[in-house]
Each structure stands twice: as C-alpha cells, then as structure tokens.
Amino acid sequence: MGSEETATFAGGCFWCMVHPFDELPGVHQVVSGYTGGRTENPTYEEVCAHTTGHREAVQIRFDPTMISYRQLLEIFWRQIDPTDGGGQFYDRGPSYQTAIFYHSLEQKRLAEESRQALDQSGRFNRPIVTEILPAGPFYPAEPYHQDYYKLRPQHYRRYRAGSGRDRFIAQHWDDPRA
C-alpha cells in the first residue's frame, strides 16, 4: 500500500455520499459519520435532533499517488447543491449542511480554489455557501449506516430519487453543455 491521506466531506445524507467515492481506484475506505460538533460520540438520533452541532459526513482514506485530493473535491461538488445553506434536498437542518473539512493547509488551499472556481463558473445562479472548515474529531456512525447503498440497495435508490438529489445532479452536472 502506498501513502495515505484523509479527506472529510459533509454533503447532506451520508448514505448518498459513500457510493460516489467507494469504489474509486486509490480510495481505501469511506466511513459514514459525524463531525464538526461539540458532543463526543454522538448518536444518529442526537445528530438528527440538531443538539450536537455535528454534520453527517464521510471520511475517506485515500492514496494520493492514485487519486488526488483535487479529484475528490471535483467528485464532492458533483454530489451536492452547494448553494443550499439549509441542508440538502429532502433533508433540512444544520446536520445536513455541506462542508469541506480540511486536514492540512494544502487541502484548505485546494478546497478554497475549487469553491472559487465553481462559484465563478456560472453553473449556479446563486452563490456557493459550502463552508471550508478545519477537521476535528470524526465519529463513525452506527454500523447500520455504513455502506448503506450495499446493505439496502433498493431503499437507497428510492431515497436518492425521492430526495431530489438525482434530479438535481442530472440537471446541473449531466448537462452536455457543462
């Protein structure tokens, strides 16, 4: 195994953030969890009640010689509505707000550059509100949340479609003019 780095992204429901990264060459592991809050070892119920300050997020261990942090950022942006400060799609509230949690000053620089480029691209008619924050403690979610797209594939697909995420992605990213 080569070198390893960590990336942490909050993109709304963590179920929907695992699959896009999970099987990429160079990605060693994608864990659903909670970060950015003030409570140690929060539960799903506590996070959803918006009492801990945490966001649902994924933490990705990757080999930067096989896939770059810049590539992971590009994938991240294509999974979310970066103009929605109130949550993501069907899921509302602070635990579903988007953020990039950086683990180094280089990650911070790359995240800021990518956010600025996306904001200036004209792809969206509202400003980008995704925050870029220092990484802190990350708490893995309960086992039944890990690899949810594999454990309950039919429910996962219905959830993605019903939440509006798939429609948004198709509208903003699958556009041949993009």
pLDDT digits (tens, 9 = 90+) for 35-70: 999 999 999 999 999 999 999 999 999 999 999 999
Buried b (16+ CB within 10 A) or exposed e, 60-76: bebebeebebeebbebb
Q: CA angle 160-161-163, nearest 5°?
A: 65
Predicted confidence at residue 176, as pLDDT, reads 40
Domain ranges, residue 105: 5-172
Q: Catalytic residues, which ones?
A: 13
How far is C-alpha 83 from the chain's CA centre?
14
**Is position 177 within any domain?**
no
CB distance 57 to 129 below 8 Å: no
Is 80 within the bounds of a domain? yes
Q: Which of 127, 121, 156, 123 is nearest to 20 (CA)?
A: 156
Asked if residue 178 is part of any domain, the answer here is no
Residue at 168 is within a domain: yes
Does this model's pTM top 0.85? yes
Say how far apart CA 63 and CA 28 lie, in whole Å.
Answer: 7
Dihedral angle of Cα 44, 15, 127, 117, to the nearest 10 degrees: 130
Q: Which amino acid is at 129?
A: V
| Distance between CA atoms of residues 56 and 86, nearest Å | 14
CATH number at residue 156: 3.30.1060.10
Q: Does residue 162 form part of some domain?
A: yes
Q: For residue 7, what pLDDT band results from cuts at 50, 70 and 90?
A: very high
Question: Considering its fold, how many domains does the chain have in total?
Answer: 1
Alpha helices for the chain (secondary structure H)? 15-22, 44-48, 69-77, 105-120, 148-151, 153-163, 165-172
Distance CA 14, CA 101 (A): 14
Closest CA to 76 of 55, 92, 98: 98
130 CB-side CA count, 13 A: 28
Per-residue pLDDT, 177 = 35
pLDDT score for 173: 85
